[in-house]
């Protein structure tokens, strides 16, 4: 996972970084290693009394605050087991065979006070950053947490493919093998740094190490498994504590019958809240002497950051894919990159997770699901957080989300001077037109900066401007055949007819095997497909032109009000273009780009995974599309980024004691300000790797 962006940094927040290694598939155990260290210059003496430089990774000084402030189960019994009354368990990482670097992120490693070239040239670098060798001062442990997965309480989860190594402050489980493979590690590495470059709060990826160790994976669940290389992503964040961390205290769930492993240990809940608030929300701790008021303020801040985060996802067309409570950061960061996806054509029902048959985690469902997850967090914090006070905070979520979303969208449309009541409708009509025409989400928004503000006396040129804008936007639209393919129902018509009949005759049975939303979505696609089958390409293109002409006219009218009273329209136009091009990315990490990099890497060519940074581009991330240069170009030139961070190493073939069937992660958490986590399988249903 990656570090939080400075522009979204909590007030008074002291950064710690966490590294997390992903070694197994997302639907396997998760394990993570969290390390917190304090960086200092150091040398050692050889037998001749001469000063010898140490490995830069050996100069990280661990203080492991999380293990000191939160209960630790000292048993090192291997394998999944129930962990009661503890937040961490001791584990012993197992090494990879011949680990070696695939790529590193200079900006992410800098959060730890490390220089990328020094790390790359360090003979011990791949071993330390893959967990094959434990850094001096680290204390490997696995984090125990629970989670609601696809709406059902899954009970104890925790680390299985990653482990906590320790914490530092620098100057500037589920049953499976706990391994992550190269293809899923590449997807995570690229997206972590790419999402950061888009200005979205997220954990970071410091490095990607692969090895000669192999595991067997059935990529397409087709009965044709193959051997794949084990790989590890070094993830960095202030902490990897998530909503599910507090669900270890949950009483028996009435639907699943599962219970949190630390139910009844209320003192530990309070201890964990104290640790999180004191460490990551110090101003809240300082400003509230009353414990209940402090806890309410803490929950409100988590709610606010979550609303802001999901609004940013929606505005860049990002779909997380597995928004379980164990994948929700307590700091409002994007964590756990599993079956994520960026939309190509705009589709509110876009689903990036092949296991999400009901569309629970679809693009348009994300804001509501995040609120649902916040409600589960509130339940987990009771009685430290009174239910009535929590509900009042939750009532603030939707208005806050709408405020963040509209603010972002106005920037994307270049509406900088005024906030008009009809702006919401203008945005809604834009998205509806994009959906109807199959327009590309990213490219369409990028094109809008080329539509200028009207100027006085240019009435005769208006028709030409609208024609130019139409031609530009029509290039981003889908063909008739593409629209037919996009609107083909995923459900067989006979199955759909059966479900409709069942909904009428036996509603209870219907609810057990499907839901009305899924059926309605399939019926809508079927109706649209019928219309498309009866149309030809000429008719479709003509309708597209008409739809876009209508919207562009409304947009130009709104831009006219934007320039009212402005003495220098040209200066305003230049400002609009700058803001819009800095908000609407030229490229995002589309699936084909990641797949190109994966295929090259699996053939030994890591060049397309190499991360490049630029100091002259801000928040305009480019994933180059050329045949020879398809690697991610993550432009990360944000200033004022906190310098505290944690290191998280891979959970090497370790099945953490906190693991349960189907999960496994290990975390590395920060001391004082953050933690590092190893990216293990993103656990839970829906992981595609």
Instruction: Return the active site residues.
Output: 326
DSSP H/E element including 205: strand 204-217
For 628-688, the DSSP string reads: S--SEE-----SS-----EE-EE--S---TT-EET-EEEEE--SSSBEEEE-----STT--
Q: Is the peptide bond before 98 cis (omega within 30 degrees of 0)?
A: no
Angle at Cα 10 formed by Cα 5 and Cα 16, nearest 5°?
A: 70
Helices 516-533 and 493-505 cross at an angle (nearest 10°) of: 140
Distance CA 629, CA 626 (A): 5
Beta bridge partners of 162: 650
Beta bridge partners of 319: 341
Cβ–Cβ under 8 Å, residues 140 and 668:
no
Please, what's the largest Cα pairwise distance for the chain? 88
Task: Using alpha carbons, select from 226, 201, 202 the residue that is nearest to residue 214.
Answer: 226
What lies within 8 Å, CB to CB, of 252 at 6+ separation is 258, 259, 263
Distance CA 336, CA 329 (A): 9
DSSP H/E element including 229: strand 226-237
DSSP H/E element including 141: strand 141-143
Cα-based torsion angle of the residue sequence 350, 525, 435, 635 in order, rounded to the nearest 10 degrees: 20
What lies within 8 Å, CB to CB, of 625 at 6+ separation is 587, 593
Task: Using alpha carbons, select from 533, 577, 541 the residue that is nearest to residue 559.
Answer: 577
Neighbours of 565 (CB within 10 A): 8
Task: Using alpha carbons, select from 288, 276, 278, 280 the residue that is nearest to residue 377.
Answer: 276
């Amino acid at each position: 996972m990656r570090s939080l962006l400075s522009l979204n940094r909590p007030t008074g927040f002291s950064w710690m970084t966490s590294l997390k290694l992903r070694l197994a598939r997302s639907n396997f155990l998760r394990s993570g290693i969290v390390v917190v260290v304090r960086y200092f210059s150091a040398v050692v003496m050889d037998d001749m009394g001469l000063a010898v430089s140490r490995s830069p990774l050996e100069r990280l000084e661990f203080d492991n605050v999380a293990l000191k402030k939160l209960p630790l189960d000292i048993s090192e019994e291997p394998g999944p087991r129930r962990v009661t009354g503890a937040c961490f368990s001791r584990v012993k990482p197992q090494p990879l065979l011949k680990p070696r670097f695939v790529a590193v992120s200079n900006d992410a490693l800098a959060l730890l006070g490390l220089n990328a070239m020094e790390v790359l040239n360090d003979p011990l670098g791949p071993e330390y950053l893959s967990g094959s060798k434990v850094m001096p001062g680290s204390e490997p442990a696995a984090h125990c947490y629970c989670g609601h997965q696809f709406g059902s309480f899954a009970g104890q989860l925790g680390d299985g493919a990653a482990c906590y190594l320790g914490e530092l402050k620098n100057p500037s489980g589920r049953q499976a093998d706990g391994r992550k493979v190269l293809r899923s590690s590449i997807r995570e590495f690229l997206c972590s740094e790419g999402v950061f470059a888009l200005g979205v709060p997220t954990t970071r990826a410091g490095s990607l190490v692969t090895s000669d160790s192999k595991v067997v994976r059935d990529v397409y669940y087709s009965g044709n498994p193959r051997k794949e290389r084990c790989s590890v992503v070094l993830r960095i964040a202030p902490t990897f504590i998530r909503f599910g961390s507090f669900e270890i205290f949950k009483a028996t769930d009435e639907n699943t019958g599962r219970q949190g492993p630390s139910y009844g240990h209320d003192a530990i809940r309070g201890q964990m809240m104290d640790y999180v608030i004191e460490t990551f929300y110090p101003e809240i701790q300082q400003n509230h002497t009353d414990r209940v008021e402090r806890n309410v303020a803490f929950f409100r801040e988590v709610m606010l950051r979550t609303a802001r985060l999901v609004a940013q996802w929606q505005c860049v067309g990002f779909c997380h894919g597995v928004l379980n409570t164990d994948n929700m950061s307590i700091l409002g960061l994007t964590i756990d990159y599993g079956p994520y996806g960026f939309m190509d054509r705009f589709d509110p029902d876009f689903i990036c997770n092949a296991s999400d048959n009901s569309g629970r985690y679809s693009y348009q469902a994300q804001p509501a699901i995040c609120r649902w997850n916040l409600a589960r967090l509130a339940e987990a914090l009771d009685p430290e957080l009174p239910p009535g006070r929590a509900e009042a905070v939750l009532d603030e979520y939707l208005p806050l989300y709408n405020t963040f979303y509209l603010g972002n969208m106005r920037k994307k449309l270049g509406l900088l001077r005024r906030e008009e009541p009809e702006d919401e409708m203008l945005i809604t009509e834009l998205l509806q037109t994009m959906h109807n025409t199959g327009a590309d989400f990213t490219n369409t928004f990028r094109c809008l900066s080329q539509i200028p503000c009207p100027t006085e006396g240019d009435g005769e040129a208006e028709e030409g401007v609208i024609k130019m804008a139409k031609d530009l936007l029509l290039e981003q639209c889908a063909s008739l055949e593409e629209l037919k393919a996009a609107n083909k129902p995923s459900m067989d018509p006979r199955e759909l007819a059966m479900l409709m009949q069942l909904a009428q005759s036996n509603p209870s049975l219907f609810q057990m095997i499907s839901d009305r939303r899924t059926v309605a979505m399939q019926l809508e696609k079927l109706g649209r497909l019928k219309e498309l089958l009866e149309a030809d390409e000429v008719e479709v293109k003509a309708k597209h032109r008409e739809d876009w002409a209508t919207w562009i006219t409304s947009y130009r009218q709104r831009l006219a009000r934007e320039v009212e009273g402005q003495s220098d329209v040209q200066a305003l136009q230049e400002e609009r273009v700058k803001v819009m091009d800095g908000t609407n990315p030229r490229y995002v990490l589309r699936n084909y780009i990641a797949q190109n990099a994966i295929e090259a890497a699996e053939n030994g060519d890591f060049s397309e995974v190499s991360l490049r940074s630029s100091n002259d581009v801000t928040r305009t991330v480019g994933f180059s599309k050329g045949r020879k240069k398809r690697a991610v170009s993550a432009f990360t030139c944000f200033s004022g980024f906190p310098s505290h961070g944690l290191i998280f190493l891979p959970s090497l073939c370790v099945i953490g004691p906190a693991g349960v069937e189907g999960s496994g992660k290990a975390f590395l958490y920060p001391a004082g300000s953050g933690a590092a986590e190893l990216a293990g399988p993103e656990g839970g249903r829906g992981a595609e790797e």
